[in-house]
Amino acid sequence: MPRITDERRAARREQILEAARACLQEYGLEAVSMEMIIARSGLSTGAVYGYFKGKDQIINAVITDGTAAMAADLAPILTNPDPPPPSELIEQVLRAIVDFGRHKPGDIDRLLVSLHGWSHAQSDPQLRAATRAAYAGLRRRFDDLAKRWQAAGTLDTTIDSKAVAQLLTSITLGFVAQRALAGSADLTAHVSALKAIGPPPITARTASRHP
Amino acid sequence: MPRITDERRAARREQILEAARACLQEYGLEAVSMEMIIARSGLSTGAVYGYFKGKDQIINAVITDGTAAMAADLAPILTNPDPPPPSELIEQVLRAIVDFGRHKPGDIDRLLVSLHGWSHAQSDPQLRAATRAAYAGLRRRFDDLAKRWQAAGTLDTTIDSKAVAQLLTSITLGFVAQRALAGSADLTAHVSALKAIGPPPITARTASRHP
Amino acid sequence: MPRITDERRAARREQILEAARACLQEYGLEAVSMEMIIARSGLSTGAVYGYFKGKDQIINAVITDGTAAMAADLAPILTNPDPPPPSELIEQVLRAIVDFGRHKPGDIDRLLVSLHGWSHAQSDPQLRAATRAAYAGLRRRFDDLAKRWQAAGTLDTTIDSKAVAQLLTSITLGFVAQRALAGSADLTAHVSALKAIGPPPITARTASRHP
Amino acid sequence: MPRITDERRAARREQILEAARACLQEYGLEAVSMEMIIARSGLSTGAVYGYFKGKDQIINAVITDGTAAMAADLAPILTNPDPPPPSELIEQVLRAIVDFGRHKPGDIDRLLVSLHGWSHAQSDPQLRAATRAAYAGLRRRFDDLAKRWQAAGTLDTTIDSKAVAQLLTSITLGFVAQRALAGSADLTAHVSALKAIGPPPITARTASRHP
DNA sequence: AATGAATGAGACTTCATTCAT
DNA sequence: AATGAATGAAGTCTCATTCAT
């Protein structure tokens, strides 16, 4: 018989996570303190501890939720039963990632939280497991996609679909990293480069085919 | 006139950084403490503070040195005046990265330190600048490479070399991330997938060329 | 005009004290928290505060009630107008104490709460006064008893009745302490020892000296 | 190669314990805080934590040391190979206890710390074991003593020496408790009462034996 | 130059109590 | 009268850094 509705409870929880997210982005993994999170959340110390058992739980929730949210945004694209050809699909994926980063107005890039998660997951065993599961899941979805491409004749059937999945996973993760580290990464650049770079030089190939 | 030789000083410095590196890998960015680093270095508290001004300086040195060391390992490959075709070059790059990770025997993957660096660089302005410069440098080297490929006819000249540089940067960074996050990433898979995925279906292209 | 009957109020009050007693026994003076007491009482936070002004009041009530209950159990024995000789009376007293400890079925020894009271009374001035009054009362009753023994010829009239009262008080309190601290204390052992120890065995000795 | 001598270290440790003892006496088990102990010790927070792992360790050390010190003061009396008769020995024991309480000039009665220990030992398992061992040890020494009395003909040989040990333990502990709880307890009163109370009235006894 | 004990600001968390519903 | 979410003061402890020796 909760005095507070589940809805309100969930809203408060999100309020705390939102504050934690902002602090994580602004101060970094090492420097976030409960004091900061509490102050920004607008709640009292005790209230925050009523929603989360401790700092670790908050940080992990921020990271886990972030990973889950990104996976949810990518899901419709990756599970498309009739996917567009690779370069077009990558365009959709990277665009979703850019959009994911900008999700909340007035916020800094949500992708930066992901990078903190990548670091934090190295040490916290529980988070490590969750992270590994999430990214292995992403790779599996790319694998399924590759198989659909092969079935549709869009992709060479001699290539291992798992190999394609790994490459696409790297491009996706690398795009995130590059935006954070180099300061920018252009999605159309990635798409056009992918079109150009892949194949062995065409002329040579054509020549060898029409000797 | 220093009481101890420069050589000895440098050795001590490296001893401290090595300890910090190990602790960073083992405990993560949040949990490393000076106490740990000092204990593992085998030096006294005071001695460590004789070599570094504080914890931040040590952590930043570990990260900066790591980034620099990886850049140094990649340099001969990326500055090759007569580079092999893209997929072969990527193979060399990824192989260098794998080797970089294993550098010290008995150690855990040195690449994990990089991920901590990616996180830490978001907050520390000085490190952020250094990191950005380093990864922008990587991208520039890929750009130069792309230009050499175009000059040699190995790459379509209509594509912007900067776009290619971005894609290759993403693949490189993404490979690192994927190894850490998904637990594995196979370099030959990346290479073979790159060969297969890139181009739009050849037959279509060929057809349009021979109407 | 109270909304609930006095009877119900008293029952609720006892319910809270019972919970506090159990928590005190289980967790000790330092570790008991209102949260524990409230949880075990089955009432809500607000309800508990409707019966007691705060934690101190509850703890003090538990201790004071405990002391009073023990005094009440001892009263009929100590105020017996025609008391049995000392060793027999001590037997009755110690038996009453053992019984007092076991009062509630399923509970741990109620005497343990007494020890917490002894400690707590050192610091809380109000409790200190109440405790001192209670144990001074016990001593006074033993004194009255000694006078009755002297009047009845059961006790040497040259001895100060107050001195006897002090000794009997020590034995009583010490019996409680020993049960708690050494883990056991046997009442018949106390009685038989008391018979044997007091005087040098006069008759036997005298007899053996003048055969 | 300690920079600080063992002697100095021990002195600092004792300085902390002394502060804790004083705080325990003044504020009681529930109310002592590290802040108090630290302030009174004259050391810094960090320094105190360099000597003790935490509050529990300090409190337990105070209590354990107190029990041990009292046992040490009683040892020569209890292990006397040619002990005086019971009432005289009890006099020595109680006198040692009174002296123990006054040990440090300017201090409050050290016995009060014992009472806090009795309470605390109920909850802390480690302390409980130590306390039980200590008081069981006391009882064993009284037992040995009783056997020596029996061998010397000072004590009825038909009585179980263990029973005598229990009684003497109760008197000893009860004397401590009574001093704390009733505010006073006179050692000579105990001794004279013990002489008077133990046996059934001698005249009656003698009379009944020689009708 | 070297040592490591000491410092103390500040981190995290608990918990007795209040008060809007 | 009853509820239990919220409050925030106060507690325990850590850890980067300093400095007397």
The architecture (CATH level 2) of D63-209 comes to: Orthogonal Bundle (1.10)
Please count the other Cβ atoms lying within 10 Å of the Cβ belonging to residue A54: 11
pLDDT of residue A51: 97
pLDDT at C188 over 70: yes
The partner residue sitting opposite D171, judged by closest CB among C123, C171, C192, is: C171
DSSP string, A65-90: HHHHHHHHHHHHHHT-SSPPPHHHHH
Strand F atom within 7 Å of B34 CB:
yes
Higher pLDDT, C116 or B103: C116
Strand F atom within 7 Å of C59 CB:
no
Is-contact A110 A21, C-beta < 8 A?
A: yes
Instruction: Pick from A122, A132, A169, A194 the residue to mutate for testing the B interface (most B CBs within 10 Å).
Output: A122
Query: Among C50-59, C147-156, C198-207, which is the least confidently predicted range?
Result: C198-207
Contacts of D170 in chain C (CB under 8 A): 170-171, 174-175, 177-178, 185, 190
Q: How far apart are CA D96 and CA D101, in angstroms?
A: 9
pLDDT of residue B1: 44
pLDDT at B206 over 50: no
**Do C1-52 and C70-209 come out as alike in CATH topology?**
no
For A183-195, the pLDDT digits (tens) are 899 999 999 999 8
Strand E atom within 7 Å of D37 CB:
no
For A97-145, the pLDDT digits (tens) are 999 998 776 667 889 999 999 999 999 999 999 999 999 999 999 999 9
For D23-61, the pLDDT digits (tens) are 999 999 999 999 999 999 999 999 999 999 999 999 999
Contacts of D27 in chain C (CB under 8 A): 123
pLDDT at B202 over 80: no
Q: Is D28 helix (H, G, I), strand (E, B) or coil?
A: coil
Q: How far apart are CA B19 and CA B113, in angstroms?
A: 12
* CATH H-level, domain C1-52: superfamily: Homeodomain-like (1.10.10.60)
pLDDT of residue C199: 54
Is-contact A196 B198, C-beta < 8 A?
A: yes
For B118-176, the pLDDT digits (tens) are 999 999 999 999 999 999 999 999 999 999 999 999 999 999 999 999 999 999 999 99
Strand F atom within 7 Å of D33 CB:
yes
pLDDT of residue C3: 62
For B16-63, the pLDDT digits (tens) are 999 999 999 999 999 999 999 999 999 999 999 999 999 999 999 999
**Which chain A residues in 8-47 sit with Cβ < 7 A of strand F?**
8, 12, 43-47
**Which chain D residues in 41-70 sit with Cβ < 7 A of strand E?**
43-47, 49-51
Nearest CA to D75 out of D154, D147, D164, D137 is that of D137
Q: Is A133 on the interface with B (CB under 8 A)?
A: no
D51 token code pair: 């000597």
pLDDT of residue D67: 96
Is-contact D197 C194, C-beta < 8 A?
A: yes
Q: Check C197 against D155: CB less than 8 A apart.
A: yes
For A157-181, the pLDDT digits (tens) are 999 999 999 999 999 999 999 999 9
Q: How far apart are CA D185 and CA D190, in angstroms?
A: 8
Q: Band of the pLDDT at B200, cuts 50, 70, 90?
A: very low
D128 min Cα distance to partner chain C (Å): 8
DSSP 8-state secondary structure symbol assigned to residue B201: -
Global confidence as pTM: 0.90
Burial tier of B45 (Cβ tally within 10 Å: 0-12, 13-18, 19+): exposed
DSSP string, A154-194: SS-TTS-HHHHHHHHHHHHHHHHHHHHHTS---HHHHHHHH
Count C/D contacts: CB-CB distance under 8 Å: 243
Cα distances (Å, whole numbers) of residue C112 to A80, B111, C107: 70, 60, 11
Q: Is B125 on the interface with A (CB under 8 A)?
A: no
Q: Band of the pLDDT at A204, cuts 50, 70, 90?
A: very low
Q: Check B119 against A185: CB less than 8 A apart.
A: no
Contacts of B78 (CB under 8 A, 6+ apart): B93, B138, B141, B142, B144, B145
How open is the CA angle C150-C151-C153, to the nearest 5 degrees? 60
pLDDT of residue C103: 74
pLDDT of residue C105: 61
- Closest alpha carbon within chain A to B181: A132
Q: Where are the domains of chain A?
A: 1-52, 67-209
D9 token code pair: 């270290």
Contacts of A210 (CB under 8 A, 6+ apart): none
Contacts of B72 (CB under 8 A, 6+ apart): none
Mean pLDDT of chain C: 90
Instruction: Pick from B122, B131, B132, B195 the residue to mutate for testing the A interface (most A CBs within 10 Å).
Output: B122
Task: Provide the residue type at A12 as one letter.
Answer: R
DSSP 8-state secondary structure symbol assigned to residue D43: S
Around B206, how many Cα atoms within 13 Å sit in the side-chain half-sphere? 13
Q: Is A161 on the interface with B (CB under 8 A)?
A: no
pLDDT at A72 over 80: yes
pLDDT at C209 over 50: no
Class of domain A67-209: mainly alpha
Contacts of D154 in chain C (CB under 8 A): 200
pLDDT of residue D197: 82
Query: Among B3-17, B110-124, C123-137, D132-146, which is the least confidently predicted range?
Result: B3-17
For C6-50, the pLDDT digits (tens) are 888 899 999 999 999 999 999 999 999 999 999 999 999 999 999
For D146-184, the pLDDT digits (tens) are 999 999 999 999 999 999 999 999 999 999 999 999 989
Please give the CATH number for the structural domain made up of C70-209. Answer: 1.10.357
pLDDT of residue B106: 62
Q: Is D84 helix (H, G, I), strand (E, B) or coil?
A: coil
Is-contact B90 B167, C-beta < 8 A?
A: no
A105 token code pair: 């107005």
Nearest CA to C28 out of D122, D112, D63, D27 is that of D122
B64-209 is classed CATH 3.40.120.10: no
Is-contact C194 C168, C-beta < 8 A?
A: no
Q: Band of the pLDDT at D199, cuts 50, 70, 90?
A: low
Q: Band of the pLDDT at A201, cuts 50, 70, 90?
A: very low
pLDDT at B94 over 50: yes
For C86-108, the pLDDT digits (tens) are 999 999 999 999 999 887 666 66
pLDDT at D1 over 50: no
Query: Among A67-76, A201-210, B185-194, C43-52, which is the least confidently predicted range?
Result: A201-210
pLDDT of residue B43: 96
Query: Among A64-73, D101-110, D161-170, which is the least confidently predicted range?
Result: D101-110
Q: Which of residues 57 through 116 in chain D touch C, CB cutoff 8 A? A: 85-87, 112, 115-116
User: What chains are in contact with B, requiring at least 3 Cβ pairs below 8 Å?
Assistant: A
pLDDT of residue C8: 87
pLDDT of residue D105: 60
Burial tier of C189 (Cβ tally within 10 Å: 0-12, 13-18, 19+): buried
> Looking at beta carbons, which pairs linking D203-206 to residues 24 or more positions away fall under 8 Å?
D205/C203, D206/C202, D206/C203
